[in-house]
Amino acid sequence: MREAGPRMVRDDQGEAWVFEGKRMPTTGLSAAAGKKREEFSPLPVTYDDMRPGCYEPAARVEDMNRAGVIASLSFPSFPRFCGQTFTEATDRQLGLACVKAYNDWMIDEWCGTAPDRLIPMIILPLWDAHLAAKEIERTAAKGAKAIAFSENPYQLGLPSIHDRNGFWEPMVAAAAETGMPICMHLGSSSQLPATSPEMPMAAIIALTPVASTAAACIDWLFSPWLPKYPDLKLCLSEGGIGWIPYVLERSDHVVEVHRGWAAKGDFGGDLTTGAVGGRDDDLGGLDMSVMPSELFRKHFYGCFIEDPFGVSALDKIGVDNVMIETDYPHTDSTWPNCIEVAHKQLAGLPDDVKRKILQDNAARVFNFDLPEAPPTGRR
What is the structure's pLDDT at 275?
A: 72
Q: Which of 1, 9, 85, 89 is nearest to 47 (CA)?
A: 9
Q: Which domain holds residue 221?
A: 57-266+280-365
Strand order in the sheet with 121-122: 121-122, 146-149, 182-185, 234-237, 300-304, 322-324
Q: Which pTM does this prediction carry?
A: 0.94
What is the structure's pLDDT at 187?
A: 83
Tell whether 105 is covered by a domain.
Answer: yes
Q: pLDDT, tens digit, for every residue of 133-164?
A: 999 999 999 999 999 999 999 999 999 999 99
What is the structure's pLDDT at 338?
A: 97
Q: Could you tell me the CATH number of the domain that includes residue 80?
A: 3.20.20.140
What is the structure's pLDDT at 251?
A: 97
- What percentage of the chain exceeds 90 in pLDDT? 83
Residue 280's SS3 state is: strand
Contact by Cβ (8 Å): 376, 64: no
Tell whether 346 is covered by a domain.
Answer: yes
What is the structure's pLDDT at 158?
A: 97
What is residue 198's DSSP assignment? T
- Residue ranges of the chain with pLDDT lower than 70? 265-269, 271-272, 277-285, 373-379
Contact by Cβ (8 Å): 367, 119: no
The total of structural domains in the chain comes to 1
Tell whether 70 is covered by a domain.
Answer: yes
What is the structure's pLDDT at 82?
A: 92
Cα(284)–Cα(265) distance, integer angstroms: 6
Tell whether 275 is covered by a domain.
Answer: no
Contact by Cβ (8 Å): 146, 122: yes
Tell whether 25 is covered by a domain.
Answer: no
Tell whether 326 is covered by a domain.
Answer: yes
Amino acid identity of residue 240, one-letter, is G
Tell whether 17 is covered by a domain.
Answer: no
What is the structure's pLDDT at 379?
A: 42
Tell whether 292 is covered by a domain.
Answer: yes
What is the structure's pLDDT at 284?
A: 54
Contact by Cβ (8 Å): 76, 150: no
